[in-house]
């Protein structure tokens, strides 16, 4: 019921378009159902009398003209109605996709931890496309068939009450059939949509990780996993096809033949017994209407499959739309000091704490380095700083304001980040640095590239900052991608700069360029560095050593070396390898 209410709400956005289309559908049905009566007049009033007398040519021409006009009205109104319903459906789906995409962007990062990207993509693309079909089929073909059904019953009852009422006895059979059909069809269509989503997820995962798949020779394993899901889809699709064929063709076809048999028997016996008098033209009308009675029924049956699939897709779309978003109507961070304090912070992604009683304070312009083995909690601290997640206990403060009381947007406007594996979008180097912020000029872009030492590495690019960038920047070297990512962060002039393993994927020469640029650019900014290369953080104002989610050591490079603890051992080990 919730799904239908949501769909109705979207339908009302284009109510006049849909209403106009529905009115024209009714015009189509009425005009089309009058045509057999015109043929009946031609047979009974023109053709049959002409056997014994002269053909009434004027009456014939008039009736043929009426038939032609009705045919043109039927064709024209059906065409315009289809256009209106299609335009309305496309508009609704466009709005729905925009709403869904906007909603996804507001979802918490935590939601995507257990939701494959392919499934989200499938809901925004495939499932909404099924809804477009729903609007065209449900408001178009199904309503047309229902209108035909009602119109034929009215015509049959007006022409012959006993036969019309007898035809009404078929309705309970249709209702019983629809109940049985829906029970099985709903299960099959829901499973089919779910499996399509899973197929998309596996495709997305395989394509994204193709280098790893091929490098570790996992093609057969990935293929087998895909084949298993695809085989399940095939089995359920076959079951649904068999159900649909049995219901829509065999069942309805048998009923049609049975009804025509009863029609012949009813009027034949009536004529023999002298209780019924029927003309040839009227017999034609009854045969035509009886046949038409089953055409819409067969149409509704065959279209029921699309409706079931669309409703299953609608449910999945609105389930995604119902996922709570992150509320961002909070206080605005208007200060630019960049002071950061963690006060007794505990944090867990699920049940086990990955950060335990973390406390430290960073003053404006200081550089803080986070050091520790994989899984020690370094990245989790950055996630809390950016409010990708919020603390389970304790609080994070920015310029004296608790982060959970601040708007995420205003908080992140003060921050810049360079990731270990920088993500570049399809476009140009300039568009990847600017990221849609129009007040960053080409001069600004060239300036930040120069500041990070990128002009040397980019000298071979013929188009400069307009050099094309493909998806994820795969045609660029890791050093070039990192420098573009670094320049992007600096172009936004952040108060707080986060470097998450920013030099781990680049060569020593490029690292030296970035290190020299950083010494100038981090002045006046609070800088957090997550680094495995301890040689890059010797000048940090504060080094925090983490182990299993706890700060086990803190101090400057010299102080920690002197203490001969974990940091000293890590530094000595790296020095011996270099």
pLDDT value, residue 560: 92
Structure confidence at residue 302 as a pLDDT band (50, 70, 90): low
Among the residue ranges 191-200, 296-305, 409-418, 487-496, the one predicted with the least confidence is: 296-305
pLDDT digit string, tens, across residues 420-430: 777 888 888 88
CA dist 412 and 39 (Å) reads: 75
CA dist 129 and 381 (Å) reads: 41
> Is the predicted pLDDT of residue 203 greater than 70, yes or no?
yes
Structure confidence at residue 73 as a pLDDT band (50, 70, 90): very high
pTM of the model: 0.70
DSSP labels for 234-283? HHHHHHHHHHHHIIIIIIHHHHHHHHHHHHHHHHHHHHHHTS----HHHH
Spatial CA neighbour of 482 closest among 403, 435, 417: 417
Helix axes 478-491, 442-451, angle to 10 degrees: 120
> Residue 22: phi, psi to the nearest 5?
-70, -40
CA dist 445 and 430 (Å) reads: 7
Q: Please give the residue that has the higher pLDDT: either 372 or 306.
A: 372
Residues 158 and 164: beta-carbon distance below 8 Å: yes
> Is the predicted pLDDT of residue 272 greater than 90, yes or no?
no
> Is the predicted pLDDT of residue 69 greater than 60, yes or no?
yes
CA dist 312 and 173 (Å) reads: 26
Q: How far is CA 75 from CA 67, 92, 296, in A?
A: 12, 26, 17
pLDDT digit string, tens, across residues 86-104: 888 889 889 999 999 988 8
For residue 220, count other CB atoms closer than 10 A to its CB: 8
Average model confidence (pLDDT) for the chain?
83
> Residue 398: phi, psi to the nearest 5?
-120, 120
For residue 274, count other CB atoms closer than 10 A to its CB: 7
Residues 155 and 112: beta-carbon distance below 8 Å: no
Tokens for 410? 């205003």
Structure confidence at residue 578 as a pLDDT band (50, 70, 90): low
Q: How far is CA 314 from CA 14, 118, 498, in A?
A: 18, 17, 41
Mapped onto helix, strand or coil, the DSSP state of residue 469 is strand
For residue 2, count other CB atoms closer than 10 A to its CB: 11
Q: How many residues does the chain have?
A: 578
Tokens for 178? 């629809």
Q: How far is CA 333 from CA 330, 385, 399, 495, 524, in A?
A: 9, 13, 9, 11, 18
pLDDT value, residue 198: 84
pLDDT value, residue 68: 94
Residue 367 bridge partners (DSSP): 527
Tokens for 42? 């031609």
Structure confidence at residue 247 as a pLDDT band (50, 70, 90): low
Q: Please give the residue that has the higher pLDDT: either 100 or 246.
A: 100
CA dist 66 and 72 (Å) reads: 10
Residue 577 bridge partners (DSSP): none
DSSP labels for 370-430? EEESTTSSHHHHHHHHTTSS--SEEEEEETTEEGGGB-HHHHHTTEEEE-SS----SEEHH
For residues 518-526, give the mean pLDDT.
73
Q: Which helix (H) or strand (E) is 554 found in, with range?
A: strand 550-555
CA dist 316 and 126 (Å) reads: 11
pLDDT digit string, tens, across residues 11-22: 888 889 989 988
Residues 417 and 469: beta-carbon distance below 8 Å: no
Tokens for 262? 């009863």
CA 370 to chain centre: 37
Tokens for 327? 């509320």
> Is the predicted pLDDT of residue 474 greater than 70, yes or no?
yes
Is the sign of the CA dihedral 267, 269, 272, 277 positive or negative? negative
Q: Please give the residue that has the higher pLDDT: either 305 or 333.
A: 333
83 half-sphere exposure, CB direction, 13 A CA radius? 6
Q: Beta strand 468-469 with 427-428: parallel, antiparallel or unpaired?
A: antiparallel
Query: For the chain, first and last CA: distance in Å?
Result: 66
For residues 551-566, give the mean pLDDT.
92
> Residue 364: phi, psi to the nearest 5?
-55, 130
Q: Please give the residue that has the higher pLDDT: either 474 or 365.
A: 365
For residues 395-399, give the mean pLDDT.
93
DSSP labels for 463-494? TGGG-EE-GGGTTS-HHHHHHHHHHHHHHT--
Q: Which helix (H) or strand (E) is 553 found in, with range?
A: strand 550-555
pLDDT digit string, tens, across residues 564-573: 888 999 888 8
Mapped onto helix, strand or coil, the DSSP state of residue 231 is helix
Residue pointed to by tokens 């009946």: 40
Structure confidence at residue 50 as a pLDDT band (50, 70, 90): low
Max alpha carbon distance in the chain (Å)?
Answer: 126
Q: What is the DSSP letter of 126?
A: I
Domains and CATH numbers, the chain: 2-321 (1.20.1560.10), 340-577 (3.40.50.300)
Among the residue ranges 240-244, 443-447, 557-561, the one predicted with the least confidence is: 240-244
Name the region of 492 (left: φ>0; alpha: ψ -120 to 50; beta: rest): alpha
Structure confidence at residue 289 as a pLDDT band (50, 70, 90): confident
């Amino acid at each position: 019921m919730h799904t239908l209410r949501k769909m109705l709400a979207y339908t009302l956005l284009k109510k006049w378009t849909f209403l106009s289309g529905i009115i024209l559908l009714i015009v189509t049905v009425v005009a089309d159902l009058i045509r057999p009566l015109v043929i009946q007049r031609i047979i009974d009033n023109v053709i049959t009398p002409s056997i014994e007398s002269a053909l009434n040519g004027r009456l014939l021409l008039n009736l043929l003209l009426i038939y032609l006009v009705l045919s043109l009205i039927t064709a024209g109104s059906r065409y315009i109605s289809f256009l209106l319903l299609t335009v309305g459906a496309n508009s609704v789906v466009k709005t729905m996709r925009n709403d869904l995409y906007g909603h996804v962007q507001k979802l918490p990062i935590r939601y995507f931890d257990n939701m494959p990207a392919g499934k989200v993509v499938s809901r925004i693309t495939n499932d909404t496309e099924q809804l477009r079909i729903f609007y065209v089929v449900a408001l178009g073909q199904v309503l047309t068939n229902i209108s035909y059904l009602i119109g034929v019953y009215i015509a049959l009852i007006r022409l012959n009450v006993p036969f019309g009422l007898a035809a009404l006895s078929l309705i309970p059979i249709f209702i019983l059939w629809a109940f049985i059909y829906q029970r099985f069809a709903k299960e099959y269509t829901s499973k089919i949509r779910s499996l399509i989503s899973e197929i998309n997820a596996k495709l997305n995962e395989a394509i994204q990780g193709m280098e790893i798949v091929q490098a570790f020779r996992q093609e057969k394993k990935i293929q087998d996993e895909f084949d298993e899901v695809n085989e399940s889809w095939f089995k359920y699709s076959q079951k649904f096809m068999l159900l649909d064929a049995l219901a829509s063709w065999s069942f309805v076809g048998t009923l049609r033949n049975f009804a025509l048999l009863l029609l012949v028997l009813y009027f034949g016996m009536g004529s023999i017994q002298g209780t019924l008098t029927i003309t040839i033209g009227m017999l034609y009308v009854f045969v035509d209407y009886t046949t038409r009675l089953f055409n819409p029924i067969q149409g509704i049956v065959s279209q029921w499959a699309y409706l079931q699939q669309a409703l299953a897709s609608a449910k999945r779309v609105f389930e995604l739309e119902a996922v709570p978003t992150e509320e961002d109507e909070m206080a605005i961070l208007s200060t630019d000091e960049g002071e950061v304090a963690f006060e007794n912070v505990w944090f867990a992604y699920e049940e086990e704490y990955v950060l335990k009683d973390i406390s430290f304070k960073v003053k404006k312009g200081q550089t803080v380095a986070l050091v520790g083995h994989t899984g020690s909690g370094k990245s989790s601290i950055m996630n809390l700083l950016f409010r990708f997640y919020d603390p389970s206990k304790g609080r994070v403060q920015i310029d004296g304001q608790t982060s959970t009381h601040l708007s995420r947007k205003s908080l992140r406007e003060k921050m810049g980040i360079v990731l270990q594996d920088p993500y570049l979008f399809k476009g140009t180097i300039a568009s990847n640095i600017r990221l849609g912020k129009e007040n960053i000029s080409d001069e600004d872009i060239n300036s930040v590239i120069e500041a990070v030492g990128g002009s040397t590495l980019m000298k071979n690019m013929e188009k400069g900052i307009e050099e094309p960038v493909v998806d994820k920047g795969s045609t660029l070297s890791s050093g070039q991608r990192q420098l573009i990512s670094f320049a992007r962060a600096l172009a936004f002039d952040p108060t707080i700069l986060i470097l998450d393993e920013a030099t781990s994927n680049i060569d020593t020469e490029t690292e030296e360029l970035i290190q020299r640029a950083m010494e100038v650019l981090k002045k006046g900014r609070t800088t957090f560095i997550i680094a495995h290369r301890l040689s890059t953080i010797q000048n940090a104002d504060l080094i925090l050593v983490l182990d299993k989610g706890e700060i086990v050591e803190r101090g400057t490079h010299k102080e920690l070396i002197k203490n001969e603890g974990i940091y000293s051992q890590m530094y000595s080990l790296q020095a011996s390898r270099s």
